[in-house]
Amino acid sequence: GNSVTQMEGPVTLSEEAFLTINCTYTATGYPSLFWYVQYPGEGLQLLLKATKADDKGSNKGFEATYRKETTSFHLEKGSVQVSDSAVYFCALSDRASGGSYIPTFGRGTSLIVHP
């Protein structure tokens, strides 16, 4: 079956530090890949996505590149801010049995940014 593996958190950084959150996946088909962000007390919201190999998704200074050869979609940001403190989820969407796409999420990585 499909699965997504994210690095364990929390990740603790100082403001303006470089961020990398690793994400690898297994899928039977050719999935779309996503990063979602969850702020305290809220639902998840899309941060960025990529639908085919070598695509780069980007938003709000965050980037991730769809690497089919390494089955990875690592999230990066060059300079984090305190406001980036949140939980980040890597996810994929692929065709499951019966023709329905089932989204699969990683367990989430908590990011804490200190001033």
Partner 1 sequence: DAGITQSPRHKVTETGTPVTLRCHQTENHRYMYWYRQDPGHGLRLIHYSYGVKDTDKGEVSDGYSVSRSKTEDFLLTLESATSSQTSVYFCAISRDPGNTIYFGEGSWLTVV
- Site residues (vs partner 1, CB under 8 A): 31-32, 34, 36, 41-46, 49, 51, 89, 91, 93-95, 98, 100-103, 105-108
Q: Which is nearer to partner 1, 67 or 95 (CB)?
A: 95
Tell me how far apart the alpha carbons of residues 84 and 77 are, in angstroms, rounded to a whole number.
10
CB of 27 to partner 1, least distance (A): 11
Query: Minimum CB separation from partner 1 for residue 59, in Å?
Result: 12
The nearer residue to partner 1, 70 or 100, going by C-beta atoms, is 100
Biggest CA-to-CA distance, the chain: 49
Nearest CB to partner 1, comparing residues 98 and 115: 98
Smallest gap from residue 75 Cβ to partner 1 (A): 16
Kindly tell me which of 40 and 115 has the beta carbon lying closer to partner 1. 40
Rounded to 5 degrees, φ, ψ at 98 are 85, 0
Do the beta carbons of residue 19 and residue 109 sit within 8 Å? no
Residue 61 bridge partners (DSSP): none
Burial class (CB in 10 A: 0-12, 13-18, 19+), 67: middle
